[in-house]
Chain A
Amino acid sequence: MKRNYLLGGALLLGLAELTVPASAQTQITGAGSTFAAPIYTKWAEAASGATSIKLNYQAIGSGAGINQINNRTVDFGASDMPVKADDLTAHKLMQFPTVIGGVDIIVNIPGIKANELKLTGPVLAAIYMGKITKWNDPSITAINPGLKLPSTAIATVHRADGSGTTFVFTDYLSMQDADWKSKIGSSTSVSWPGGAGAKGSDGVSGTVHQITGGIGYVESAYAEQNKLTTTMLLNKAGKYVAPTMAAFEAAAAAADWSSVQNFAIDLNNEPGDASWPIESATFVLLPTDPKDVNQSAAVKKFFEWGFAHGNDTAKQLLYIPLPESVHNAIRAAWKGVPGTM
């Protein structure tokens, strides 16, 4: 059958890429955050030559990543939400951040271009709670003098699937609005008061793109890659900032990493004139009692490579690398996990 010939031909052509001398390469498996998938796979590709490590990373979602590492079905888990200290001890895990990413607010309002609209945290919370229903509501026009806002109804879009991005966004809203915090709270999946859900950040950007008056939240890589209409936000220092790389970096630099345990920093609403207020690190979870110390060593070696050589790649993919001081703190923390690199 023709299929056999094609199969045979493809096998021959791809043989070099598939068959790998078992002794030369270590295979590690990671699963979790969809947000981090591009950078981990990019690092893996670049690092495989230098470190002889082959990474299989599956973007199944932060919660699923935590599940899998708890069950020890993978070598490391990846989560956008930091895991609580009690859970870390209970499941014998060590947590460290790898890169930082921002969350942008996107809108679809006729006549409004990218980074023209200004919003604040409380206004955003009110919009998503359904308290503000039209774009020309006084609370929005008050902070946007000089912009012609139509009377179109606001159509809020949120993530339909459980997601770390939702956690970062709702965590920010909880900080900004006490009503939101008590009624809705923050998690990878919440009970949204109205609006439409869409699957994935691409779903959110697609849905916002389609409906006039739409507003949504997406990872900054999506906004950048697809040239979406982003908005400015008021930061803690009282300045309106646009979601640029510089703003993300300013927020990361302003963070006080020494104030938290297990690197569980919350990067939302960081001080600093230029800081972008909605941002989060993504974390990796490593067992402190690995069943195979070589695998554990390989994971550390892989991320060490990423910290040492992968900063430029991270920036290309629109992530923010961690400050070097944090890298050093992580290296120190790694010493507590069995397996020498």
Chain B
Amino acid sequence: MQQTVILPMSSAGGRRISIGDPIFAGLAFAAGFFVLLLLGSIILSLFFGGMPAFRAFGLSFLTSATWDPVHHVFGAAVSIYGTLLTSVLALIFAVPLAFGIAFFLTELAPDWMRRPVGTAVELLAAVPSIIYGMWGFFIIVPIMSQYIEPTLIDTFDGIPVLQDLFAGPPFGTGLFTAALILAVMVIPFISATMRDVFDTVPAVYKESAYGVGCTTWEVMRSIVLPYTRVSVVGGIMLGLGRALGETMAVTFVIGNSDQISSSLFGSGNTIASIVALEFPESPAGSLKLASLLALGFILFVISFIVLAISRYLLRPRLKA
């Protein structure tokens, strides 16, 4: 059925165009343009603010792992590494859990359970991020430091590659813990997308699979996932976008280290956390401030790329 609505000519002879129409259309267009302008200004202000850093360090700013405020040498590598590592790890933790939750809620749970449990899981998305930071630092970090990290360190001791990945004093804070907290924050986004999209699979496909004797899991694996594959990945990318920009929760638990540690339990930085931690102590006009703004610009670029990919993947669904 057509969505476009064609305005009729007035029957009282001659074209009578309501004066409200161009005004309203103008307002709508102006608002849309304003949003474009807003993002453009934010990105431009970050870019120009970060110019001194780009000029001082050149492209090596992206690969240098030094962050020395005393000698005024700054590099983005540690923060970019931390951002990407924590976000990717967060997804590795979050996607199976979110899938399990979505699978449970769409196929396995009895009807009366679906809405309350679904709402409960989605409430995880509503908790403010500073609460995640406080909860993470007061509850999760001690658990990591006293139980989980020592156990993992001991288990992998002696195994060549894994031993270095899971090494070091069990501080409790660090990249691994930050990734865990991010995973908890991102699960509701991914599971909500998955649920919505699993529900769109036409029943007839699933029924025919059940008809030839497939188990529930086989139906999910062979019918539902392939059908929704693109949208699922798009939802995961949206979760990734959220994880990349998270500030408060990560700031409390990531520690702050200027080196790229080989251990997952080591301290690190994400772009958002280093801006939050170091911006207050950056004198105006200093190279440190310019480096922080340059990092903000880089984060926008990463977000752009991630979102562009997710848009591209979700496009068929939007048009459907």
- In the complex, the chain A residue whose C-beta lies closest to that of B267 is A196
Interchain CB contact under 8 A, A160 and B68: no
B291 to chain A, nearest CB (A): 12
Contact with A along B75-98 (1 / 0, CB 8 A): 000000000000000000000000
Knowing A155-B169, A197-B267, A199-B251, say if A60 contacts B280 (CB, 8 Å): yes
| Complex interface: chain B residues within 8 A of A186 (CB) | 70
Chain B residues numbered 37-71 whose CB sits less than 8 Å from any CB in chain A:
66-71
How many angstroms from the CA of A154 to the CA of B277 in the assembled complex? 25
How many chain A residues sit at the interface, stated as a range, is: 35 or more
Interchain CB contact under 8 A, B172 and A185: no
Interchain CB contact under 8 A, A155 and B283: no
How many chain B residues sit at the interface, stated as a range, is: 35 or more
Q: Which of B70, B169, B172, B279 contacts A190 (CB 8 A)?
A: B70
How many angstroms from the CA of A106 to the CA of B47 in the assembled complex? 42
- Chief secondary structure at chain A's binding surface: loop
Interchain CB contact under 8 A, A187 and B169: no
Cβ of B141 under 8 Å from chain A: yes
- Chief secondary structure at chain B's binding surface: loop
Interchain CB contact under 8 A, B281 and A63: yes
Cβ of B222 under 8 Å from chain A: no
Interchain CB contact under 8 A, B70 and A161: no
| Complex interface: chain A residues within 8 A of B188 (CB) | none
Cβ of A258 under 8 Å from chain B: no
| Complex interface: chain B residues within 8 A of A63 (CB) | 280-283
Chain B residues numbered 249-276 whose CB sits less than 8 Å from any CB in chain A:
251-252, 254-259, 267
Stretch at the interface among A207-215, A227-235, A240-248: A207-215
Knowing A185-B71, A196-B174, say if A153 contacts B255 (CB, 8 Å): no
Interchain CB contact under 8 A, B281 and A62: yes
Knowing A190-B68, A196-B267, A197-B267, say if A210 contacts B142 (CB, 8 Å): yes
How many angstroms from the CA of A52 to the CA of B280 in the assembled complex? 31
- In the complex, the chain A residue whose C-beta lies closest to that of B278 is A162
How many angstroms from the CA of A187 to the CA of B281 in the assembled complex? 10
How many angstroms from the CA of A222 to the CA of B137 in the assembled complex? 18
Cβ of B106 under 8 Å from chain A: no
Knowing A62-B281, A71-B284, A196-B255, say if A210 contacts B172 (CB, 8 Å): yes
Knowing A206-B137, A207-B171, say if A194 contacts B280 (CB, 8 Å): no
Interchain CB contact under 8 A, B257 and A194: yes
A14 to chain B, nearest CB (A): 24
- In the complex, the chain B residue whose C-beta lies closest to that of A66 is B283
Interchain CB contact under 8 A, A163 and B169: no
Cβ of B155 under 8 Å from chain A: no
A137 to chain B, nearest CB (A): 16
Chain A residues numbered 61-82 whose CB sits less than 8 Å from any CB in chain B:
61-64, 66-67, 70-71
Interface centre among B69, B70, B267 (most CB of A within 10 A): B70
Interfacial residues, chain B to chain A (CB-CB below 8 A): 66-71, 137-138, 141-142, 145-146, 169-174, 251-252, 254-259, 267, 277-284
